[in-house]
Amino acid sequence: MAPVLDGVQLCAKGKGCYTLIGEYRMTENEFFPHALGTIAHELGHSIGFHDLYDYDKQVEGWPLPYLFSLMGHGNYGNDESDNIYRRGFVPQHLDPFQKIRSGIMDPEEVTENGEYTIHPLSAENSNILKIVTPDPKEYFLLENRQLTGFCKGLYRKTYGVNEKGEDCHFCENYKEGGVILWHIDEDIFDTYSVIKRTNGSGTWLPDGETEGTERHDPGIVALFKNGFDENGLLKNDGVFVTGYPEDPFYRKGDVFNSNEFVSAATHTKSLNSFPEGVSQDTYNLKVEFIDFDEATGDIKIRVTQTK
Ligand SMILES: [Zn+2]
């Protein structure tokens, strides 16, 4: 039986469960201890979080969140740029959608055009901005990942150069953080949620089904500043596990326009569904990153939504 404490039952779906984690991760190319990050990731499953990585390596061109979710590759965060054995010592934050859904954080809702401030995730007053759209199940989440606290463990290259100028593995860290901007479609997440439900050709399948349906983007997509190409691969590098987004962060001076992002699956604009009266041709969310406070890490934005 699943353990119950203070009326809360651990383990998803009411089943008894346990987590088995090997002491080391060993593949053809890798050998390192399973540190805190993997324990945190697997505990996440017991709480009910979903994987956000492609563990069958079946989904070609699917916009992954990489290190920007504990349930993606975030369990491998490494703050020390010359030591692969530190991989996983500094696990990364959960994606903001699963934080909100599990009740870890409540978002600050943005329902009107105007100026708003995003505080760093590591700050005591940290916040997640939720910009609502005409579809109540579809919205944008913004978080500020300054490279402080656990965010020090964000690295950008599988193979890179460490601080001493030597070649290294899983090591070249980001030099500067900023805002990560996510597109959420709850309907898609709730229907499809887990990547393993593909039929081997990159087609997502609803819960319990084994035959293919229409392919589409996942419900949780980080719209990195670099962007994705029309196949959902990162524009700079992109191949699964060999690269991480070169510069995914929005900073002072940057401008995001949702209509510049195109679905990898359907090649339509980034909102997955357009409610009645909202045209794909005219809808746009514009976010201007207008100020950065170096002392606090706060980032100020201006939101302009055109329906
Ligand atoms: Zn997992």
Assess if residue 217 is contained within a domain: yes
How far apart, in Å, do the first and last CA atoms of the chain sit? 50
Query: What is the pLDDT at residue 260?
Result: 85
Q: How remote is the CA of residue 260 from the centroid of ligand 1, in Å?
A: 31
pLDDT digits (tens, 9 = 90+) for 204-217: 455 555 554 455 56
Assess if residue 211 is contained within a domain: yes
pLDDT digits (tens, 9 = 90+) for 84-108: 778 889 999 999 999 999 999 999 9
Assess if residue 15 is contained within a domain: no
- Alpha-carbon distance of 135 to 125, in angstroms, equals 29
What's the structural domain count of the chain?
Answer: 1
pLDDT digits (tens, 9 = 90+) for 245-301: 888 999 999 999 998 887 766 777 767 778 888 888 889 999 999 999 999 999 999
Assess if residue 102 is contained within a domain: yes
Q: How remote is the CA of residue 154 from the centroid of ligand 1, in Å?
A: 19
**Residue with more model confidence, 306 or 45:** 306
Q: How remote is the CA of residue 277 from the centroid of ligand 1, in Å?
A: 39
Q: How remote is the CA of residue 12 from the centroid of ligand 1, in Å?
A: 13
Residue 150's closest CA among 78, 224, 245, 44?
78
> Strand 178-185 relative to strand 138-145: parallel, antiparallel, unpaired?
antiparallel
CA distances from 125 to 93, 117, 151, 207, 213 (A): 16, 11, 16, 38, 43
Q: How remote is the CA of residue 44 from the centroid of ligand 1, in Å?
A: 8
Q: Give the domain extent around 197.
A: 94-306
pLDDT (mean) for 130-151: 95
Q: How remote is the CA of residue 93 from the centroid of ligand 1, in Å?
A: 14
Write the single-letter amino acid at 216.
Answer: H
Query: What is the pLDDT at residue 197?
Result: 45
Q: What pTM does this model have? A: 0.87
pLDDT digits (tens, 9 = 90+) for 5-63: 787 766 655 555 678 888 888 877 777 888 899 999 998 988 888 888 765 554 555 67
- Alpha-carbon distance of 140 to 132, in angstroms, equals 7
> Strand 129-132 relative to strand 167-173: parallel, antiparallel, unpaired?
unpaired
Q: How remote is the CA of residue 66 from the centroid of ligand 1, in Å?
A: 13
With beta carbons less than 8 A apart as the criterion, state whether 63 and 264 touch: yes
Residues forming beta bridges with residue 116, ordered by sequence position: 301
- Burial label for 253, CB within 10 Å (0-12, 13-18, 19+), is exposed
With beta carbons less than 8 A apart as the criterion, state whether 180 and 222 touch: yes
Assess if residue 19 is contained within a domain: no
CA atoms within 13 A on the CB side of 199: 12
Q: How remote is the CA of residue 42 from the centroid of ligand 1, in Å?
A: 6
Q: How remote is the CA of residue 206 from the centroid of ligand 1, in Å?
A: 19
